[in-house]
Structure formats: structure tokens, C-alpha cells
Chain A
Amino acid sequence: GQQLNQSPQSMFIQEGEDVSMNCTSSSIFNTWLWYKQDPGEGPVLLIALYKAGELTSNGRLTAQFGITRKDSFLNISASIPSDVGIYFCAGRLIYNQGGKLIFGQGTELSVKP
């Protein structure tokens, strides 16, 4: 089946540092989404990308839809303690299947004050 490879699996950084994580696949996607999950809660949408090459920012977060449609990255600048959580990428295949998404394995972020 289709798979998304998300890396890194975990990151331990100092407050104020920048963070970068990415997802890659052998399949072509027409949508890339980035979610954040806080402990005990469901994932919450951070950024949605709909066109190849698209670069979108949301505050300190920036994400890009790879030009090949097979990858995406998320950057967080000047990290703060509340950035702690698990970040998931998700992609929707080029052939729409009722909006079904495929998720990466997640990147667990820890921020030391």
C-alpha cells in the first residue's frame, strides 16, 4: 500500500532553535497537510497545501508542497515550549478516494526551556 516516510521520528531541541521535519513518498499526492497533536487530544490542522511548489506560512510555521508532489517539509522557527507535541504529515493521493488521507508516523518534538 501507499506509505509516507516521516523524519525524524523525534527531536530534542533548545528553546529558540529552528526545527525542520519532512515527509517523502513514492506516490504522488494532490494535497499535503500538517497536523500537531498535544497529549490527550486529537490532531489539529496547522497548514494545508494544495499545489505543487506551494509555500505557506502560519506564524512561525512554514510548509512547502514539493515540486515532484512526492514530498513536503515543515519548518518551525524560534521554537518555544508550547511547540512540544507530535507533528504528523498527511497526504491525499492524486486519485481522490473520498478525501482519504495517508499519515506519516509522526515526529515527536521536545523543547528544553
Chain B
Amino acid sequence: NAGVTQTPKFRVLKTGQSMTLLCAQDMNHEYMYWYRQDPGMGLRLIHYSVGEGTTAKGEVPDGYNVSRLKKQNFLLGLESAAPSQTSVYFCASSSDYSPLHFGNGTRLTVT
């Protein structure tokens, strides 16, 4: 029972490089989310999706793009990484009957 799986676990990028973080859930949840966690700031919502083919902006969407082509996957893209995007990124999923379940995070460093 995998739950929410994030890949990769760690990544180091140079400023200006691009990358995609992958999130997969096997619980048939409708809703999926991407959060970033920074010291003293809790979890801040980047983008979210209420269903396959739909996405919406969260609290801190600038510099990120997302896609939800399949119900079980939610991709987070950084087109041109900046040092301010150094953070730990968490994916989560939920349904109307289930609270958020989180993955174990991706630690991203942008130099």
C-alpha cells in the first residue's frame, strides 16, 4: 500500500535549469496538491487539482507549473529554477471522505 509517492527524493539544480517533480497516488483520490515547506513558514500551497485535467493556483504559484493528465499523477515543473525555490516540496492527495495524505517530500537545492 504505497499511498503517495514522490520522486526524486533529492535534487540539486543550478540557477536557470528546469526540472519536473512527480507525484503518484494509488488511493483513487480526486484532489491533489503541491506544497513547499520552508523553516518557520509551515506548508504553503503552490498549486492544486480538483480532478483529472484541472489545475488551480494556490498561495505561492509563481515560478511553477503543474499538470494532471492522469488522475493518479500530479506533476510540478520548474521552468527556470531560482535560489528562492530551494525548499522541501510535498505532494498530497485527498478526497471528500479522506483528509490529506502526504508523500515523504523532495528536497530541492538551487545553487
Which A residues form the contact surface with B (CB < 8 A)? 1, 6, 9, 31, 33, 35, 40-45, 48, 88, 90, 98-106
Contact = CB atoms under 8 A, between A and B. Distances in A.
Nearest to A45: B99
Given A40-B104, A42-B90, A98-B31, 7 more contacts: A33-B99, A41-B104, A43-B90, A90-B43, A98-B50, A100-B33, A105-B40
Given A1-B59, A6-B42, A43-B43, A101 B104 contact: no
21 contacts: A33-B99, A33-B100, A35-B102, A42-B90, A42-B102, A45-B99, A45-B100, A45-B101, A88-B42, A90-B43, A90-B100, A98-B48, A99-B30, A99-B50, A99-B94, A99-B96, A100-B33, A103-B42, A104-B42, A105-B40, A106-B42
Contacts of B96: 99
Interface residues of B, number: 28
B48 A100 contact: yes
Contacts of A105: 40-42
Contacts of A1: 59
Contacts of B33: 100
Interface of B: 4, 30-31, 33, 35, 40-45, 48, 50, 56, 58-59, 90, 92, 94-96, 99-105
B99 A88 contact: no
Contacts of A102: 45
Nearest to A101: B100
Nearest to B43: A103
Contacts of B41: 105
A40 B94 CA distance: 21
Q: Which 3 A-B pairs have the closest CB atoms?
A: A42-B102, A98-B50, A105-B42
A44 B31 CA distance: 17
